Structure 1
Amino acid sequence: MTDDDANRLTPAASAEDLNEGEQRAVDHQSRPSAALIHETIRVEGERELERSGFALMMSGLAAGLSIGFSVVVPAILIVALPEAPWKHLLTSLGYTVGFLIVVLGRQQLFTENTLTPVLPMLRAPSWRRAGLVLRLWLIVLLSNVAATWIFSAVLAHTPVFEPEIKQALAAFSQSTMASPFWTMLLKAVFAGWLIALMVWLMPASGDSKPFVIIIVTYVVAVGHFAHIIAGSVEASYLVQIGEATLRDYVLTFFVPTLLGNMLGGIALVACFNFGQVAPELQGSDRRLPRD
């Protein structure tokens, strides 16, 4: 037998040859399984569903205000950078700032909740869980949107930023209202898909969480995909300065973007990723209570 043959151990033999410390090192280096990621997010979802309405509202308001920086920073960069073909590639980096604050600060953002609280309901469906999910969605969505209107009102009606930055804000926000209904809906599907995927990636990211947030939300910005909360800052700002109507806000932006974000997050991430681990979960000894 050659040296290569001797070193080619079966998995079982290899595991038996490892001492306890080496086995822990292997476990540490191994990627978490899809089932482990699912369970990590599901447990977090269970906790979110049981939070008080006041706590959800305050967290949602904080997220809606924080996401405003995903609109302000790109506008500042638009003013600061010279005109060039690559300008959009750099200004889009500013879009990631608000998401970094929201996600790392553990604030409630509606698009993240198209995955996290849905997994407990898919794992052990019940009318009680369905009611809790709808309650969470309603509180978080309304508080997110209310905060975006507060943020945009400050941008529009106070001298906190110079006129050229306000002009850049208006120019940057125009794309939010520029697409017809079905195009906006498709753009929103991609945004909801990416943000829910970001949440799915977080448990396996370790110390790389900021890079995952930056990369995923940067793709949303570069692709001009439609995000219901960040986009609400832009769309409401246009309403505040008189360049759009409330009807434009609701029909051109809000309805197609909300539907698309939910479709992308729930169908393309929550249901598909649950589907890939469902047989493994059903075959386990775990038994979740059904209400």
Structure 2
Amino acid sequence: MRDSTEDAPDPETRKREVAEEVEEERWPSAVVIHEVIRHEGVEDLARTAPALALSGLAAGLSMGFSLVGEGILLDHLPEAKWSELVSGWGYTLGFLIAVMGRQQLFTENTLTPVLPLLHDRTLAVLLRVLRLWGIVLAANLVGTLLFAASLAHTEVFDEGVREHFRKLSHHVYAYPFGTTCLKAVLAGWLLALMVWLLPSSGDARPFVILILTYVIAVGNLAHVVAGSVDASYLVFLGEATWGDYLGRFFVPTLIGNLFGGVALVAVLNWGQVAPDVE
């Protein structure tokens, strides 16, 4: 009679198999996530200026679809308080396109290139980070201005939808400087957290983007790129000035997004893994 243990693996082999199965199933550690994002940051810092500018321009144009998505949904919804909870999903459209399309979005860069800087704290790396920020932010804003101008000066969408664009856009000017800055801190925090979560999200990446940017929408939080479409749209309509754009929207939102992304995500998350990577 055949011994039932004849085909059984030896204990050492079984231990290796179990270890491999555990490694396959477990989530990436904080160190692994940090290294994935840091290497992406190193690659971004090495990209040429034209590549960064074109990618940033694409992202700015893509973010215009956040206003379009919200406006179209509102146009098909009844006038009710809950309508904003539904139309908020339209706001996520621009982020989904830009992030999944690997386009350069400024608020993502409050984390990705900052990790290489924290790892290699030299003037040369700092200058490369500032170069990347300057190119990407400028290109993002040019894209948003082009998109907003096309919405304001054409009739691609009917009058009812354009009226919703106008009403939605007023929220960027609805708060004083300090409040806008605080709202921007939360938005920058959420966007940088989104970048931190994506490496461990697998097939759920679109849902991570949708959920976190939806919170920005329904919370009326301030995002320097998506909000630039709204703020400049009102300028092109003649309902705001470029002084309003700079003083009431751009400056407080930029300050808040930078602080939320760099201080609350990049530095804190780097701090928890620094002893293991340095």
Whether the TM-score (by the shorter chain) exceeds 0.5 is yes
Are 2:216 and 1:216 equivalent residues in the alignment? no
Deviation at 1:16, TM superposition (A): 5.8
SS in 1 for 2:140: helix
Deviation at 1:20, TM superposition (A): 3.4
Question: For the residues of structure 1 that align with 2:243 and 2:120, how far apart are their CA atoms?
Answer: 40
Residue of structure 1 equivalent to 2:69: 73
Equivalent runs, 1:79-94 vs 2, <5 Å: 79-94=75-90
Residue of structure 2 equivalent to 1:205: 201
Aligned pair partner of 2:164 in 159, 168, 185:
168
Residue of structure 1 equivalent to 2:107: 111
Question: For the residues of structure 2 that align with 1:222 and 1:58, how far apart are their CA atoms?
Answer: 30
Counterpart of 1:60, as a letter, is G
Q: Structure 2, unaligned stretches of length 5 or more?
A: 1-10
Q: Which deviates the most, 159-168 or 182-191?
A: 159-168
Identity %: 56
Are 2:53 and 1:57 equivalent residues in the alignment? yes
SS in 2 for 1:68: helix
Question: For the residues of structure 2 that align with 1:71 and 1:86, how far apart are their CA atoms?
Answer: 18
Question: For the residues of structure 2 that align with 1:96 and 1:278, how far apart are their CA atoms?
Answer: 33
Residue of structure 1 equivalent to 2:6: none
Deviations 1:173-210 (A, max 9, x none): 10101100000000000000000000000000011100
SS in 2 for 1:198: helix
Deviation at 1:17, TM superposition (A): 7.3
Question: For the residues of structure 1 that align with 2:65 and 2:226, how far apart are their CA atoms?
Answer: 9
Question: For the residues of structure 2 that align with 1:141 and 1:97, how far apart are their CA atoms?
Answer: 20
Counterpart of 1:73, as a letter, is G
Counterpart of 2:114, as a letter, is V
Are 2:11 and 1:22 equivalent residues in the alignment? no
How many aligned residue pairs are there?
268
Question: For the residues of structure 2 that align with 1:85 and 1:118, how far apart are their CA atoms?
Answer: 40
Question: For the residues of structure 2 that align with 1:68 and 1:24, how far apart are their CA atoms?
Answer: 45
Question: For the residues of structure 1 that align with 2:14 and 2:261, how far apart are their CA atoms?
Answer: 42
Question: For the residues of structure 2 that align with 1:16 and 1:161, how far apart are their CA atoms?
Answer: 67
Question: For the residues of structure 2 that align with 1:96 and 1:184, how far apart are their CA atoms?
Answer: 20
Equivalent runs, 1:1-291 vs 2, <5 Å: 18-282=14-278
Question: For the residues of structure 2 that align with 1:17 and 1:220, how far apart are their CA atoms?
Answer: 50
SS in 1 for 2:222: coil
Counterpart of 1:240, as a letter, is F
Residue of structure 2 equivalent to 1:288: none
Deviation at 1:22, TM superposition (A): 3.1
SS in 2 for 1:99: helix
Deviation at 1:228, TM superposition (A): 0.2
Deviation at 1:85, TM superposition (A): 2.5
SS in 2 for 1:228: coil
Residue of structure 2 equivalent to 1:7: none
Q: Which deviates the most, 128-137 or 80-89?
A: 80-89
Deviation at 1:77, TM superposition (A): 0.7
